[in-house]
Structure 1
């Protein structure tokens, strides 16, 4: 039987929107099978093109179905890997210091019954502000850490970038916009004074991000429900989606500044403070001949010191197009994960899927490549706040949850963009 037989019809089990496999091994095997079928069908499509017969409609439809199944298998594998890496919330009689235990008990009482006296006393004791502009109280440190860990798994740019925690409203750092002058000298030769580097200041303000999960009073009255875990579950996806968009396209006004919001310039004419771009040579598309060459150009536009820890960032549609590409030896450039805890690779580099990245269109910056750990900085202000609102949506209780986060490019040499122009 052909390896891609399960994908022959739209009613195939592997093409249905089914539940996740029972374990990561099953998901990995399913992904490998889907990619094998994808390669075989795409090879048939390329053979039709080489024979100047044009592609068969049935072949194109089959390839699209397999591509969708491949995406589904990869997403299920990513979810299983995420669940396996997620640390459990601290429950039961685990060792805690007295202050942490008191804070957790006071917060639990506030969430369940609206009693805020305990939290007020704790924040007065700690000499911290009891409320921000919109009110609210700090959640226990264990909940804040759990939310940040989950965001690092779900938000693609946060997972790649440097993350710094601050206690103020913004983070500033000095960067050099010109290299310091140096040179070689003999042992007894004079040391002439060298020119000093030119410094510039980068500022990363922490903006306010909010979510407003709702709960019934019945759920809150249930002593078995872990309030800490419930709150983390409710806000993680909302925060991750907003962050994921802001870190890519945010304009820096009331939100972080995304990597695509900065000025760009052709990489051959790179200047400080702008991101370098490589053009595909075709508006809104890869070039018709040797399409993969522009990906190699993008990789080698980055200096060797940055390439060691570099990764690609693109959305699902652009990744789907690249899956069909081969190198000069006939090997597919995109490769599926080799293990359940690994991601897909392109030219040997990891691929991060960020749906906020634009589709390929005329002049779009649809692919980013670089060392995001050195290139992009995420700033978290300490403190996750919750304001209980039992009145606005009766009979539900709303929990206005806020965190302060900022972000921006900190090293413009570390990230390159592919321009479809």
Structure 2
């Protein structure tokens, strides 16, 4: 057979949602406006009061992620597959999974700080239902963001399946599927949603299963430099092996806390 059958690697698609930036430094800085200036209503001849906007700086550290693969020279030379290509493909697949997990839940220690980390500072909205949430909570969650953002819901696929089971007092499903024939995609409460495999799938007291956010304003992903790929056929030559190293530099962090809110199940 000339095909390798591979299971699906679930990856949180934060790169498709967040603000992306390329830098050539290990600490990226973004200017933020923290306080808006004030203007005043004035009458004729009255003194004018000065006011200036105030600006700050948000720094996102760039982190290093390294993969190392050892492969025998026989496998490189005598295989029906392009082993070097398979190594790079698997490396990229794992890197995507690992960074997606960090963008969601990372603690900021040698990795990006995820938006679900309490250290990221997003507001938590209480579901109002002990150890669970209902469709009303999802509707109220949407009301927590300022008008002007372009938010969507984010959740694990298992939580999305739970939301589909919610019914109203008449036993009707409250999540009505979109009319695909008419080109209308599925939505929740009129908003789009995205499946984030790295969000919690466990619904219970104090669990945090759903985020409602304008990801492009809330979160930034920073890529630095070029990936470094090193192939060393000498370090393990006594064992007849070649070692491949791949090193990438990436950072991530919340830029604008008010652009996202997390649903927290009540105790």
1:335-391, Cα deviation, whole Å (9 max, x unpaired): 37938x997532232322222212222212211111101110001102101222444
Q: Can you list the C-alpha shifts for 1:43-100, whole angstroms capped at 9, x where unaligned?
A: xxxxxxxxxxxxxxxxxxxxxxxxxxxxxxxx99xx9xxxxxxxxxxxxxxxxxxxxx
| 1:165 is the counterpart of 2:8 | no
2:156 pairs with 1:315: yes
Cα deviation digits, residues 258-307 of structure 1 (max 9, x gap): 0012358xxxxxxxxx3222111123212xxxx2111001112112211x
Greater RCO between the two (CA within 8 Å, min separation 6)? 2
CA distance 1:221–1:328, change in 2 (3 Å): same
> Is the 1:211–1:238 contact (alpha carbons within 8 Å) kept by the matching residues of 2?
no
Residue matched to 1:139: none
Structure with bigger strand share is 2
- 1:407 to 1:305, Cα distance in 2 relative to 1, 3 A: same
**TM-score scaled by structure 2?**
0.80
Match of 1:383, SS state, is coil
Which of 173, 178, 194 is equivalent to 1:352?
A: 194
- Of 69, 94, 100 in structure 2, the residue corresponding to residue 244 of structure 1 is 100
Among 174, 179, 186, the residue aligned to 2:36: 179
Establish whether residue 256 from structure 1 lines up as the match of residue 107 from structure 2.
no
Question: Cα distance 1:412–1:297, how it changes in 2: closer, same or farther (>3 A)?
Answer: same
Q: CA deviation at 1:245?
A: 1.2
| Residues 172, 201 of structure 1: 8 Å contact kept | yes
Instruction: Indicate the structure with greater helix content.
Output: 1
Alignment pair present for 1:278 and 2:135: no
Q: Which runs of 5+ in 1 are unaligned?
A: 1-18, 20-74, 80-152, 265-273
Note the 1:10-49 alignment, pairs <5 A.
none
SS in 2 for 1:298: helix
TM-score by length of 1: 0.53
- Cα separation, 1, equivalents of 2:258 and 2:81: 49
The answer as to whether partners of 1:387 and 1:400 remain within 8 angstroms in 2 is yes
Matched, 1:156 2:13: yes
Task: Assess if the C-alpha contact under 8 Å between 2:107 and 2:114 holds in 1.
Answer: yes
Cα distance in 2 for partners of 1:193, 1:222 equals 80
Q: Does residue 377 in structure 1 map to residue 220 in structure 2?
A: yes
Say whether residues 1:212 and 2:68 are aligned partners. Answer: yes
CA displacement at 1:325 relative to structure 2: 2.0
Structure 2 contact 125–262 (Cα < 8 Å) conserved: yes
Q: For this pair of structures, how many residues does the alignment match? A: 257
Partner-residue secondary structure (3-state), 1:377 = strand
Runs of 5+ unmatched residues, structure 2:
none
Report 1:215-234 matches (<5 A). Answer: 215-218=71-74, 220-221=76-77, 230=86, 232-234=88-90
Task: Measure the CA separation in 1 of the matches of 2:130 and 2:35.
Answer: 34
Equivalent in the alignment of 2:261: 416
**Separation in 1 of the partners of 2:41 and 2:74?**
75
Tell me the distance in 1 between the aligned counterparts of 2:144 and 2:103: 23
CA RMSD of aligned residues (A): 3.6
Match of 1:298?
A: 141
Do the aligned partners of residues 403 and 357 (structure 1) sit closer, same or farther apart at CA in structure 2, a change above 3 Å counting? same
* 1:203 aligned residue: 59
Query: Would you say the 8 A contact 1:213–1:235 is kept in 2?
Result: no
Larger Rg: 1
- Give, in angstroms, the shift of residue 215 of structure 1: 4.5
State whether residues 32 and 56 of structure 2, in contact with CA within 8 Å, keep that contact through their aligned partners in structure 1.
yes
